[in-house]
Amino acid sequence: MTQSQARVAIVTGGARGIGAATAQRLAADGLAVAVVDLEESAAKGTADAIAATGGTALAVGADVSDASQVEAAVARVAEELGAPTILVNNAGITRDNLIFKMTESDWDAVMGVHLKGSFLMTKAVQKHMVDARFGRIVNLSSTSALGNRGQANYSTAKAGLQGFTKTLAIELGKFGVTANCIAPGFIASDMTKNTAERLNIPWDEYLAARAKEIPVQRAGAPEDIANMVSFFVGEAAGFVSGQVIYVAGGPKA
């Protein structure tokens, strides 16, 4: 058994999209994976798919923006899979609107999941990392961090995650913990399908139009992000910390 096979990873928002692909990829890399999502039944779909291919996974229901649910979820992972030393803060939502129409609850909901959720999860998991003198934190930012019409809340949260990541890298580095950020461009997932629906554009048309704007001329797949996560959480990436990498088929959005 290699060292990495013994490690326990938590992937939030792992029921679908980028989180599901990441959980599956990390399990294929030999990690035991806790799939955390709002509903345990939804997380179980990913955990079952991992188990079906011979991997080890646990489905956990928790709202990452709720401190007591986060504490309970991390305690359960430690109890049932072992101390988590890899954390992928991937859970996310959008509440898009132009600033003059954006409500306070649109703002609070997005900050709650992306920023508070990543803070609470990191705070709960870092103690296991410090004890183990090893840890890998990967936070999901976005090209929207550079600014995106209709996303004042989301772009603020995604830019905030970049600062959060760099500070974690500085504070936790001496304990063998790295923290890095992945900023995806356009990835085909339920999140972007919902955007197409909201804009009243057929998915195929929306996909083709977005692909044309991307230098590699295609939309990203959840697996494109999972591949990058796999690198950051690996044993070999221990000297890479506090970085933001845009995985967007080009230099930016």
- List interacting residues with ligand NAP (CB under 6 A): 12-13, 15-19, 37-39, 42, 63-65, 90-93, 113, 117, 140, 142, 184, 186-187, 189-192
Annotated catalytic residue within 107, 119, 154, 246: 154
Nearer to ligand NAP, 139 or 178 (CB): 139
The minimum distance between CB 248 and ligand NAP, in angstroms, equals 8
Nearer to ligand NAP, 88 or 129 (CB): 88
Burial of 23 (0-12, 13-18, 19+ CB in 10 A): buried
Name the residue with the smallest CB distance to ligand NAP.
17
- Active-site annotation holds for 154: yes
Q: Which pair of tokens denotes residue 46?
A: 């990913």
Give the C-alpha distances (Å, rounded to integers) separating 212 from 5, 150, 167, 207, 216.
Answer: 40, 21, 36, 9, 9
Nearer to ligand NAP, 114 or 128 (CB): 114
| Integer Cα distance of 48 and 76 in angstroms | 18
The residues facing 177 across adjacent strands are 135
| Integer Cα distance of 144 and 114 in angstroms | 13
Which residue's entry shows tokens 């139009």? 209
Q: Would the CA dihedral through 75, 78, 83, 85 be positive or negative?
A: negative
Nearer to ligand NAP, 31 or 88 (CB): 88
The minimum distance between CB 184 and ligand NAP, in angstroms, equals 4
Nearer to ligand NAP, 134 or 188 (CB): 188
CA-closest candidate to residue 245, choices 192, 190, 179: 179
The minimum distance between CB 174 and ligand NAP, in angstroms, equals 28
Strands 135-140 and 177-184: parallel
Residues in the chain: 253
The minimum distance between CB 142 and ligand NAP, in angstroms, equals 3
The minimum distance between CB 164 and ligand NAP, in angstroms, equals 13
Q: Give buried/exposed letters for 42-66 (b at 16+ CB in 10 A, else e).
A: bbbbbbebbeeeebbbbbbbbbbbe
Active site residues: 154
